[in-house]
Amino acid sequence: MMRVPFETLVHQFEQVLQSRGMHEEDAKLCSHLVAETSAEGVYTHGANRFAFMVRMIDDGLIDVRAKPELTASFGALERWDGKQGVGNLNAYASTKRAIELAKQYTIGCVALAHTNHWMRPGTYGLMAAEADCIGMLWTNTLPLMPAWGGVDAKVGNNPLVLCIPCKDGPVLVDAAMSLFSYGKLETYAREGRSLPVPGGYDSEGNLTTDAGKILASKRPLPIGFWKGTSLALALDLIVSVLSGGNTTRQLGLMGKETSVSQLFMAISLSSLPDRDRIEAEIHASLEDIQKSEAADAGVSVRFPGQMRRKIKEENLREGIPIDESVWQEILNL
């Protein structure tokens, strides 16, 4: 593992993206979003996933010049077409629009069709929190998990983000519907490490901590067992209905994770008359959580997202941790 300065990472990303025809300003924003993801410690969906995005550009699955277009408006709900554009740029624009709608209607919702992998979804939840909004967003994916009781992949792992603003720092839940995200499985497999707990089945149907075998079988364990696959299905159907876009089933027929459907919802807390009471109760709840008796000595109980700022400060000071093989792959682009 090596450390790369944040500015070096951003510059390298910009060079690669501009060499693929992306406008300079778009390349700057896209690069900053990817680098910031790694800076905040979400390495699986930052630099580790950059080469994947570039391969999709090279394969013609991402149009670096495309911009999302409004296709229908229903007051606080709007439908947009991502035009096969860059996933994190489409998501950034959709979140901004959802926040604008929330400031007008208290609740704002953008349903986005025909877009691409959004990289780290928690980024957009944090955008909402910075605007004093609750952020709720999710995406569908290729079929990546069997329905409960099945063997062949039929449902996506459909990541869901819930983000709540608070003076203690945003509460950020960013979770795939599989116990380990595919990005996390890929990291464990690349580094040759075993998962801390069984994360899925091998091709013979045995529970395993071998990430490579789980990737090969496409049988990761869902969160909450049958509840996880049920939630994944519901998220898929809701997002495709609201956006008018593809379902996981349709993505499976296409065979490539492109033209996915996503939803971005913002709820403006500053529009509510009891904003101060809300803030006080959120703070009290987080304080109560942190007073929990720890199950293991020396380990404190934290709320989701609490370590984000500390990790970012350390990485900006000392450099972004990145696997040497990943960095070389990025340089080769």
What positions carry a catalytic annotation?
45
Cross-strand partners of 138? 160, 263
DSSP designation for 2: E
Is residue 295 within 8 A of residue 159, CB to CB? The reply is no
Reported residue count of the chain is 333
97 CB-near residues (< 8 Å, 6+ apart)? 78, 80, 108, 110, 264
User: How many helices and strands, by DSSP H and E, does the chain display?
Assistant: 12, 13
Q: What is the DSSP string of 178-190?
A: BSS-HHHHHHHHH
Is residue 117 within 8 A of residue 34, CB to CB? The reply is no
Cα 209 from Cα 37, distance rounded (Å): 26
Closest CA to 109 of 99, 124, 122, 119: 99
